[in-house]
Amino acid sequence: MSQEVVETEEGLKIRKLVDLRPSTAKEYQDAILNRVDHFSKRRDSVFNDATENIIVKALQIGLQAKVKIDELLGDNKDKIHEIVEKLLFLGL
């Protein structure tokens, strides 16, 4: 797979795929799987595990709260979402 580096008007450098072979998807898949294996082997840190558990638990609590609030609101959920969106857009 050959790539070409192109610079945009904004000064961003992007990689442009020049040709696409049938094996390109397989190469990308293998590269991703290798990275996953590499980082899964590096997960021996207690700090990383604790931090990850805290983040996942916080997201879980947040999502559970959202589901319960949506259940409490019932049919008024869409109206309240619209009001909140309008308030957020006014703040921007």
Among the residue ranges 24-28, 42-46, 80-84, the one predicted with the least confidence is 42-46
Q: Mean per-residue pLDDT for 61-86?
A: 84
* 27-45 tens-digit pLDDT: 778 888 888 887 777 666 6
| pLDDT value of position 46 | 62
The H or E element containing residue 14 is strand 13-17
Encoding tokens for residue 55?
């983040």
- Residue-wise pLDDT for 44-60, tens only, equals 666 667 888 899 899 99
Is residue 13 within 8 Å of 5, Cβ to Cβ?
yes
Would you state the pLDDT for residue 58? 92
Higher pLDDT, 92 or 32: 32
Domain ranges of the chain: 3-41, 46-91
